[in-house]
Structure 1
Amino acid sequence: MTASAAPTVARSAPELVPPAGPTPGGTLPLSSIDKTAAVRVSVDFVQVFPPAAGAAVGDQGAAVAAMRDGFARALVPYYPVAGRIADASPGEPVVECTGQGVWFVEAAASCALADVNNLERPLLIPKDELLPRPPPEEKLEDLIVMAQVTKFTCGGFAVGICFSHLVFDGQGAAQFLKAAGEMARGLPAPSVAPVWDRDAIPDPPKLPRGPPPSFTAFSFVTQVVDIPPESIARIKDEFGAATGQTCSTFDAVTAVVFKCRALAAGLPDDAEVRLGFAASTRHLLQGVLPSVEGYYGNCVYPVGITRTSKAIREAPLPEVIGVMRGAKEALTARFTDWMHGGAKEDHYNVPLDYGTVTVSDWSRVGFNEVDYGFGEPGYVFTVNDHVNIVASVIYLKPPTPKRGIRLMLRCVEEPHAAAFADELAKYE
């Protein structure tokens, strides 16, 4: 590609990859957590695979064929994924095990990964050219998984994945993709046997939701910040010195973001600032599910923190970390109450104003450990630039060989972006 030529992506028409063998039919229910925690939306992300050592560009076709075969073979044990989401009754989604398969798109970019800065932000290839989309007769919200593999002239790949949050949480989607990778690499069966069993999850009485939340369209600025391991260690040491306790990387970094945003957002002293995140509850479903390890449905429960803007601005960082830890420690009791129908309030209903920020940790769910036959990705990033109703923070692993945590931030609007960046820079 010449220096002046804009990169282009040539895509084949989407093709269905059906299961490689016979699969059961019928209808399967979704769990109460699937239907409560998730909405019928698709989650998009991209895995970036640098050229494998010793691999030739001419080997790319065979690698893609093996990947496609891996999906076909994985769809036999994961047969619900080859189906479609349907409505058993209004507001009651189910999975129809139709065996149709998943949509798969092959594409070729006109450039090397290095020519587009290895797909770091700002993207030099439009995100829509890296993501799979079905043919027009298919409804996107009915599909469970789609994949697009884009070949680059250097021998590297980008794999765009679109999955239904109604059927998977992040860990569940990663479990399926790891299985597809294992099948692509010739393993006879997935190393983790899949478990559906959505009906084993309790279905407590529905709490009154109250009025629907009001939506404000904000104009959040996308910012990317890397917090190196040295800074994380320093924050943990500061917390340990103040309290005699240890804290996780998630506690340390989330407290930093919460405090920095409160300092930068320009909210009045008495304004509420809220932080919310979905905590994994897999460990709390031992004995409820036949096997927690292979379960690939939603296993999350919301954790929330509410304080005044002044309280978070003025609190020492170890104190904010302590607030984080306290909220997480309350999870067991709150989730158990919810499962047994004892919850008194709907924790899924959060005010969507400028005071609220949500955090998603993608750094540990497993997308960075998927190997379709051309090694593990050097970088995985989510594509969420269109979300403007609530401030969001996504934790990613920074591109190899960097370590630490990469923050993909859509937290503040333009008037507060410089101040927010300045506060975060103290921890970079």
Structure 2
Amino acid sequence: MTELLEKEAFVVEKLEPVSVSPAVKTMDELYFLSNLDLYQNLTISTLFCYKSDTRSTNNDVCEVIKQALAEVLVHYYPFAGRLAMDSDGKLVVNCTGEGAVFVEAVANCKLGLLGDISKSDFKMLGKLVHTCPSSSIIEMPLLVVQVTRFKCGGFVLGVANNHCMADGVSIVEFVNSWAETARGLPITVLPFLDRRIMRSRQPPKIEFSHHEFYEMKDIPKSVLASKDEVLVRKSFCFNDKKVTQLRTLAMEDGKVENCSNFTLVAAYTWRVMTEALKMEDDQQTKLVFAVNLRSKFNPPLPKGYFGNAIFHPCCICSAGELTSKPLSFAVKLVQDAIKSVNEEYVRSAIDSYEVKGANPFAAFTLLISAWTKLGFLDIDFGWGKPDQITLGNPGPNLCFTIPQSGDKKDLNILMVLAESLMKAFEGLIET
């Protein structure tokens, strides 16, 4: 109860937002967005927690990070623009140089009060990521930054960006370049900005049946009943023992020879989610997940490719089939979906989106994305590496694997669900 009262008393005072433009004049152009960018036109936020460094204070952290942002935006200038429509009615970035939005803030407590931020609620995390009021995502800045200083000397960097600008790999490369700039170092990986290498073919050529674009219209009754409930975020831990048990379970019938931790957790979480939703046996259940395309193309995409170089294949089957068959069935579906992602398949999907406009986010039972190996915990602005990171605002039925600091080998997933669905999910996944 004491901890709850302390967290309720958590106050963050923000200064007025300011615009941070590139340090020098940059290209004034309409910047092309690929179809892989366009179907991810949503805001995503990431929080980086930096513990106090006894060697230095955090008094100048805001100024250092703000100045470095102006400098790094010279290289990543599309982030300083705004979304617009081109003559064909497609979204592009108007590289106006208006800049990112930057907010300096001060908390009334020590950073330790936050505890494990992956377990924090939306109300608390919302104080650490600035939200620009807007009636339309087109009017919103593409990048919003908040630096919150704590009494202990620690600080939290909250970064909110439009996902159409960057996937997980790109946002890590951007923030790392920004951090290198803050430390006075040259940028290790300069961005490759030309996204036209991912444009649709003309004429479009749809060569596969793209089940990931299939929109399920038979919505489970539990989902309909919970549509007005508040969203709840919870973190679940898969320790070594749990992962070993699941791997044994998945391989015991001999149909799976080996499987990665991600494949195992994705398959298991999907099955638990389907059970938690109390779906009818004949209802379709759909798992969507992210696959990095950078090495899937021939030749591979250029180093530093800035944009969305991920695709979202899916697994789809009846709920009864998924929940009644051995875990190996779900694991095989995930493995086969991963194997299906090659350049030919993705080019066909890009063309399919060009023609039909449908996307993998149209409807799904669960979407899972792996953030464990992207390098979020290696980003150093001069005050050491972050102690922990988390997502601030993932939407419903989303699941992320979150990187752990230090030598922790546990696999943590962050799940977001409506309140009643979370209770059902929590009861099943922890049994």
Normalised-by-shorter TM-score class: 0.7 to 0.9
**Of 330, 348, 366, which aligns to 1:337?**
348
Instruction: Tell me the equivalent position of 1:379.
Output: 388
Q: CA deviation at 1:101?
A: 2.2
Query: Any conservation in 1 of the 2:35–2:350 contact (CA below 8 Å)?
Result: no
1:357-405 deviation per Cα after TM superposition (whole angstroms, max 9, x unaligned): 21122323333332222222222111236x34xx221221246564322
Aligned length: 412
Instruction: Tell me the equivalent position of 2:150.
Output: 152
Q: Does 1:294 align with 2:304?
A: yes
Instruction: Tell me the equivalent position of 2:262.
Output: 250
Query: Any conservation in 2 of the 1:116–1:125 contact (CA below 8 Å)?
Result: no
1:225-281 deviation per Cα after TM superposition (whole angstroms, max 9, x unaligned): 111133224433554563462211110111110122233322222221111123221
**Of 188, 192, 215, which aligns to 2:189?**
192
Query: Any conservation in 2 of the 1:393–1:411 contact (CA below 8 Å)?
Result: no
Q: Distance in 2 between matches of 1:404 and 1:98?
A: 44
Instruction: Tell me the equivalent position of 1:55.
Output: 55
**Of 13, 38, 41, which aligns to 2:40?**
38
TM-score scaled by length of structure 1: 0.85
Instruction: Tell me the equivalent position of 2:320.
Output: 310
Query: Any conservation in 1 of the 2:126–2:392 contact (CA below 8 Å)?
Result: no
Give the 3 Å change call, closer, same or farther, for CA 214–196 of structure 1 in structure 2: farther
Q: CA deviation at 1:170?
A: 1.9
Q: Distance in 1 between matches of 2:269 and 2:216?
A: 28
Q: Distance in 1 between matches of 2:228 and 2:58?
A: 42
Q: CA deviation at 1:99?
A: 2.3
SS of 2:290 mapped into structure 1: strand
Give the 3 Å change call, closer, same or farther, for CA 46–314 of structure 1 in structure 2: same
Deviates more, 1:223-232 or 1:161-170: 223-232
Give the 3 Å change call, closer, same or farther, for CA 346–303 of structure 1 in structure 2: farther
Q: CA deviation at 1:149?
A: 0.6
Q: Percent identity between the aligned chains?
A: 24
1:330-365 deviation per Cα after TM superposition (whole angstroms, max 9, x unaligned): 12252243357799987725663xx72211223233
Deviates more, 1:236-245 or 1:363-372: 236-245
The gaps in structure 1 that reach 5 residues or longer are none
The gaps in structure 2 that reach 5 residues or longer are none
Paired letter, 1:314: S
Q: Distance in 1 between matches of 2:314 and 2:153?
A: 44
Instruction: Tell me the equivalent position of 2:130.
Output: 132
Q: Distance in 2 between matches of 1:138 and 1:263?
A: 36
Query: Any conservation in 1 of the 2:35–2:353 contact (CA below 8 Å)?
Result: no
Q: Distance in 2 between matches of 1:138 and 1:148?
A: 21
TM-score scaled by length of structure 2: 0.84
SS of 1:196 mapped into structure 2: coil
Q: Does 1:222 align with 2:233?
A: yes
Paired letter, 1:197: D
Q: Does 1:273 align with 2:276?
A: no
1:16-51 deviation per Cα after TM superposition (whole angstroms, max 9, x unaligned): 22222332222221123212x312x21122111222
1:131-188 deviation per Cα after TM superposition (whole angstroms, max 9, x unaligned): 123487997744221110101111111111110112211221221111101101110x
Query: Any conservation in 1 of the 2:30–2:95 contact (CA below 8 Å)?
Result: yes
Instruction: Tell me the equivalent position of 1:64.
Output: 62
SS of 1:273 mapped into structure 2: strand
Note the aligned Cα RMSD (angstroms): 3.4
